[in-house]
A and B are shown apart, each in its own frame.
Chain A
Amino acid sequence: MADYEPVLLRNVGVENSHTLEVYRAQGGYQALAKALKMTPDEVQEEVRDATLRGRGGAGFPAGVKWSFLPKDRTHTYLCVNGDESEPPTFSNRVVMEKDPHQLIEGIIISGYATQAQAAYVYLRIEFHEPFHILQKAIDEAYAAGLLGKNILDSGYSLDCYIHRGAGAYVCGEETGLIESIEGKRGYPRIKPPFPAVEGLFRRPTVVNNVETLCNVPHIIERGADWFKSIGSEGNFGPKLFCVCGPVNRPGCYEGPMTITLGDLIYDNKYGQGMRDGKEVKAVFPGGISMGVVTTDELDMVMDFTDPAEYGLLGIGTAAAVVIDNSIDIRTVLRNVARFFALESCGQCTQCREGTSWMYKIATRIEQGAGRIEDLDLLIETTGNLGMMPGLSICGLSDGAVFPIRTIVQKFRAEFEEHIRNQEPGCVEAALAVAN
């Protein structure tokens, strides 16, 4: 692998990298000056040419998303998705703590390209340090004339506010996020209309992920062709990867989307292998909602297309959690099922009921009272949830379907062995209590 020069994380490790002074000394805010000399359409075009795909999970091209805004609009809002609730993702946190001005520069350029009046950064409430650091950075930017009225004498004005959530995974879904900013329950909306047409306060709205916006200043500064020189067709640009679990060096790393999952775990530049002599049993390579891969599938490329070959929903947040072979697969299933059962917002019946029933079944299996037919029942249930059969408003239940389906399918032999070794009569006893 050729040497990779970090882009998004280049200031991590620099002393006081969160301050405006240091960010400027490292060449920051030059892209903004350049962008403000271009027309908004030219900025949009540059980002579209770079084919910057959204880093939040769905991978929708950001420039195309911007172009859906109606031409005759009077108001535009930019919402920045910093909810980052997908276990085990923490790349946005690292960026906001270490390089908040990179994000702010991305917000201002993207706001200019879409002619937004205000940007709302939605942060989950558990982000206390990132909130204080980012708020200080925003205050610095206001004081330096980079936010507020007439930014750098360009005539363009933008206000930037942090809006803190209050503990709800579903508020990371773009319309749930919008509802939450409006002061309501974070119920995702039925689409269409999409936010670009009718979003925050029923105005045209763009919702972009933190990492997506951090890419924008670099595209403007170095051009779309530079961006396309990193990665592969359809997977251009720098990407943040997280790796955690019992690896030697858990953390957030940057690389091209040509690395494999095995690289992320074992390579010296990334996870540096397993610690304490542990062995990989399973990996959730893109946040838990994308599904699981086994130790035979570590050659999976961390890009937008390859995960589908392994039965996964996608690359998601590119955050890999490694499960070692000392962990009972039944515990993994129960933990994942609980997450979605608790975080389902409850609007769509089959998501609310389905995730809860899968959690109950998974709990019973973990407690040693599973049945072979429970495994088939779980698989059948996963076929009856989500946007794929067209049954739900948002993608949360698809996020529940893929991990549970892939865990049961790929580790079926282990489940069956546990079930065969259960004490006789325990299933009947458990079901009698449940009834």
Chain B
Amino acid sequence: MVWQAIDRNEAVIDPEAPAVLSAAVRKKIESFLPRYETRLAALLPALHVVQDELGYLSHQAMKEIAEILELHPSQVLDTLSFYTHFWTHPKGRKVITVCRSICCETLGGNKLLEAIKAKLGIDEHETTPDGEYSLVTEECLALCDYGPCMLINEKVHKCVKPEDVGRILDDPNNDVVDMPRSDLFDGPHEAGK
């Protein structure tokens, strides 16, 4: 991701702004703490939980995460700006991640990407006006045996041809994962403690 320049003359966050993290999210973040020796180590799981809950990581959310983990807010920004998965501005309800690695590209991944762009009328890193879809590309999704492939949120779409794009994107359940899933980052991990 690109570094965002911050105007130092104005406060980035309104000090009076109401909290954005719910009590449940705070509790979940705190549940990670026994897993690690340092509070800082719970940062990546915390960022995932907050992004899952709020859709993206606002400065206010970064500040509140920093408070819970007893960090400086800039430490939170420092870490999250390294990773491509985190969003610092609102994204669509569904994120389409198209693989562009060597295998998928040589099997027609570019045509797939162009078909999605044409269907949605957006470019990479853009969101449709109705807030339904955001489009990104990623280096190798480790699904090379099913190339060209893409993800819609957590749902894997395998061997997608450009002509399949219309059908897939018109399906309202195209991000539904048909498997029993454990609650994200939950489970009886503290059993051994």
Interface range, B side: 35 or more
Which chain B residue shows the least CB distance to A148?
B192
In the complex, which residues of chain A have a beta carbon less than 8 angstroms from the beta carbon of B79? 183-185
Within A148-167, which residues are at the interface with B (CB < 8 Å)? 148-149, 157-159, 161, 163-167
A127 touches B142 (CB 8 A): yes
A139 touches B103 (CB 8 A): no
B101 touches A339 (CB 8 A): yes
Q: A128-B177, A129-B179 are in contact. Are A201 and B37 (CB under 8 A)?
A: yes
Indicate whether A125 reaches chain B with its CB closer than 8 angstroms.
yes
Indicate whether A279 reaches chain B with its CB closer than 8 angstroms.
no
B84 touches A168 (CB 8 A): yes
In the complex, which residues of chain B have a beta carbon less than 8 angstroms from the beta carbon of A139? 182, 187-188
Indicate whether A331 reaches chain B with its CB closer than 8 angstroms.
yes
> Considering residues B97, B100, B103, which has the most beta carbons from chain A within 10 angstroms of its beta carbon?
B103
A166 touches B140 (CB 8 A): no
Interface range, A side: 35 or more
A132 touches B145 (CB 8 A): no
B182 touches A244 (CB 8 A): no
In the complex, which residues of chain A have a beta carbon less than 8 angstroms from the beta carbon of B102? 87-88, 284, 288, 321, 323, 332, 335-336, 339
A288 to B103, CA, bound (A): 10
In the complex, which residues of chain B have a beta carbon less than 8 angstroms from the beta carbon of A182? 38, 40-41
A126 to B100, CA, bound (A): 14
A183 touches B154 (CB 8 A): no
A335 touches B105 (CB 8 A): yes
A321 touches B187 (CB 8 A): no
Which chain B residue shows the least CB distance to A82?
B142
Indicate whether A405 reaches chain B with its CB closer than 8 angstroms.
no
Indicate whether A398 reaches chain B with its CB closer than 8 angstroms.
no
Indicate whether A85 reaches chain B with its CB closer than 8 angstroms.
yes
A85 touches B38 (CB 8 A): no
> Considering residues B69, B78, B85, B86, which has the most beta carbons from chain A within 10 angstroms of its beta carbon?
B85
Which chain B residue shows the least CB distance to A159?
B192
Interface-forming stretch among A32-40, A246-254, A418-426?
Answer: A246-254
- 6 residue pairs bridging A and B, Cβ less than 8 Å apart: A87-B139, A88-B102, A126-B151, A168-B83, A201-B37, A288-B102
